[in-house]
Amino acid sequence: MAGIVAMKCGVAAGLPSLTSAPRGARAASSSSINLANPFLRGSSAALTSLNLANVRGDSRVTCFTRDWLRTDLTVIGFGFIGWLAPSSIPAINGQSLTGLFFDSIGPELAHWPTGPALSSPFWLWMVTWHLGLFICLTLGQIGFKGRSDGYF
């Protein structure tokens, strides 16, 4: 791969191509382009943290903490209340989003086990209400954990 990259760089820089000289002769040449990259390491990079787990005999590989979600009931409770309060304001023709969503559930259950039709307003209220809830919970989790970790 490095030979292909060096060949492209050599042609672009006006240097002779790699096809005219053997691979070892080109690498020893003083006019070769140094393609060193700080992200690429030598052979010492073979023992990464993932490989060290197998060297120690530990079969589990952990790259991050086990409790990566770090759930907190405080965030869930305040996020739910934080969405329920504004969605209960009667702003849509004198009705609230929560009221419209809950009122649309009853007529759909009346003809159960047949599901709601695609033209039913139930789908609009359900998607809108839940989208707002999940956005509120996500931003609450980011804000609460970001504040406790000292990001802001």
Residues 83 and 48 in one domain: no
User: What is the pLDDT at residue 133?
Assistant: 93
Contact 146, 152 (CB under 8 A): yes
In a domain, 24, yes or no: yes
Residues 82 and 113 in one domain: yes
Q: State the CB neighbour count (10 A cutoff) for residue 26.
A: 20
Instruction: Quote the number of domains for the chain.
Output: 2
Please give the residue that has the higher pLDDT: either 12 or 102: 102
In a domain, 135, yes or no: yes
Residues 81 and 132 in one domain: yes
In a domain, 65, yes or no: no
In a domain, 68, yes or no: no
Least reliable range by pLDDT among 39-43, 78-82, 87-91, 96-100: 39-43
Domain of residue 12: give its range.
2-55
Residues 78 and 51 in one domain: no
Residues 32 and 87 in one domain: no
pLDDT over threshold 50, residue 41: yes
Which token pair is 72?
A: 């907190």
In a domain, 37, yes or no: yes
Query: Which string of DSSP letters, residue by residue, matches 57-88?
Result: T-----SS-S-SS---HHHHHHHHHHHHHHHT
Give the mean model confidence (pLDDT) for residues 112-120: 87
Residues 110 and 145 in one domain: yes
Residue type (1 letter), 136: C
In a domain, 82, yes or no: yes
Least reliable range by pLDDT among 51-55, 64-68, 87-91, 111-115: 51-55
